[in-house]
Amino acid sequence: MKSKKILKYILIDILGYALGMGIFLLFFYLVPYELESENKVVGSVNDVSEHEFTLPSFDSANKDENETKPEPETEKETEPETEKETEKETEPETEEETKKADKKPSKKPGSTNSHKNNYYGNADTDSFSGNDEDIKNLLDAEITSTILKTYNNDNVNITITKKEFGEGNDKVTYYVADIYVRTLEYFKTALAKDTYGTNIKEKIRSLASNNNAILAVTGDSYGNNSTGIVVRNGVLYRSTDNSADVCVLFTDGTMKTYAADEFDAEEIIEEGVWQAWSFGPALLDDDGEILDSFNTTNYLYDNHPRVAIGAVESGHYVLVVVDGRENGYSRGATISELAAIMSMENCTTAYNLDGGGSSSMVFDGKFINHATDRSISDIVCIIP
């Protein structure tokens, strides 16, 4: 009889623990809720005279000569929720050319480090050595480029190119959006449902459409974390730090990345911040060279679909999405390969954003890559 009572109490304890954990997981990982934010304006780009950049000339003669249908849309693409006319959009003839990378990124000697077993998060990071073999193989690869879309008006110029290298199950397919903006007023971010909070998510095409974005990619998924700086369009929502690298776009158009131990939020904010992301890792050093090691985790270090942001110079930016986990089409990329890709795109600063199953690029309401259409918390976007 006594043993039955003990067993009963044990079962009650187990059920109580399970119920408590269920409520905890439901609240923190599933139930969306708005968070209180610092809601402080820390940057403005309204003064055009101070922060205006020169757009490159657009060769209308070449545009007309090349204008034809672009490459067929991807299999997974579905009709967007909202369709709108694209101002002055052109669809030049698909031009395929096999070529070696114009710019060969430099690579510092790597080092071997021990690291923690963090398989999923972007915090609790450690130093992972770069992979020289990955970079060498990419440099030696024949890269095929296909122009998919161009867009230009008085405020932005965008060229989207599909690039491929490798073959069979080692093939990698990625998409590069080369972007010029007249001012940062057109280089923006957007929060799901226009709300800062946890587990508040929205489909990327809906998010892009609701913010009149011509181009959008996945952001840093700030809503999945309770720490890490968040600045969106000059508004500071969160200033707490963690162990992840930080990427900052200042109001003068310069982009910089910071290791967690060198990032001082108060000092940076005084310089005027337009956007700040906390995911990482940073991909290039202060001289634009591939880092010899990356401040990341076991999971993020390996081969995955990717999203990255970079700057060539003030007013000239690059967004990259690497597809992955599809044999024969694209296996994804390692962090070292992603860094090499960004360097080959002439970036002087580059940073890894949230990738994996969230990796998406949307142009004029349609997917450019093989996206899974996952709901996400934020986007980086161009609003013409």
Whether 151 has a pLDDT exceeding 50, the answer reads yes
Residue ranges making up the domain that contains 17:
1-31
Q: Pull the structure tokens for residue 192.
A: 């799901």
Q: Do both 361 and 378 map to the same domain?
A: yes
Q: Do both 125 and 2 map to the same domain?
A: no
In Å, how far are 66, 146, 310 from 70, measured between CA atoms? 10, 9, 26
Q: Do both 237 and 101 map to the same domain?
A: yes
Task: List, in sequence order, the alpha helices (H) in the chain.
Answer: 2-25, 60-66, 132-140, 204-210, 265-269, 298-301, 335-344
Q: Using CA atoms, how far apart are residues 348 and 345, in angstroms rounded to an integer? A: 9
Q: Do both 223 and 354 map to the same domain?
A: yes
Strand order in the sheet with 187-191: 187-191, 378-382, 215-218, 361-363, 366-367
- The pLDDT assigned to 48 comes to 64
pTM, entire model: 0.79
Q: Using CA atoms, how far apart are residues 326 and 308, in angstroms rounded to an integer? A: 19
Whether 65 has a pLDDT exceeding 80, the answer reads no
Of 52-66, 122-136, 286-300, give the lowest mean pLDDT range.
Answer: 52-66
Q: Do both 135 and 26 map to the same domain?
A: no
Whether 242 has a pLDDT exceeding 80, the answer reads yes
In Å, how far are 35, 209, 288, 306 from 160, measured between CA atoms? 36, 19, 22, 16
Stretch 225-244: mean pLDDT: 93
Q: Do both 131 and 16 map to the same domain?
A: no
Q: How many domains does the chain have?
A: 2
Q: Using CA atoms, how far apart are residues 64 and 353, in angstroms rounded to an integer? A: 36
Q: Do both 13 and 153 map to the same domain?
A: no
Q: Do both 289 and 176 map to the same domain?
A: yes
Q: Do both 11 and 142 map to the same domain?
A: no
Rg of the chain, C-alpha, whole Å: 22
Question: Taking all residues of the chain, what is their mean pLDDT, rounded to a whole number?
Answer: 81
Q: Using CA atoms, how far apart are residues 345 and 319, in angstroms rounded to an integer? A: 10
Q: Using CA atoms, how far apart are residues 296 and 335, in angstroms rounded to an integer? A: 9
Q: Do both 134 and 240 map to the same domain?
A: yes
Higher pLDDT, 366 or 120: 366
Higher pLDDT, 352 or 139: 352
Q: Pull the structure tokens for residue 53.
A: 């950049």
Q: Is the dihedral of CA 100, 164, 363, 51 positive or negative?
A: negative
Per residue in 179-230, pLDDT tens?
Answer: 999 999 999 999 999 999 998 999 999 999 999 999 999 999 999 888 999 9
Q: Do both 79 and 14 map to the same domain?
A: no
Residue 345 contacts residue 320 (beta carbons within 8 Å)? yes
Per residue in 97-136, pLDDT tens?
Answer: 444 344 444 444 333 344 444 444 566 677 788 888 999 8
Whether 1 has a pLDDT exceeding 70, the answer reads no
- The pLDDT assigned to 58 comes to 64
Per residue in 3-47, pLDDT tens?
Answer: 666 776 677 767 666 665 555 544 445 555 455 667 899 999 887
Q: Do both 256 and 327 map to the same domain?
A: yes
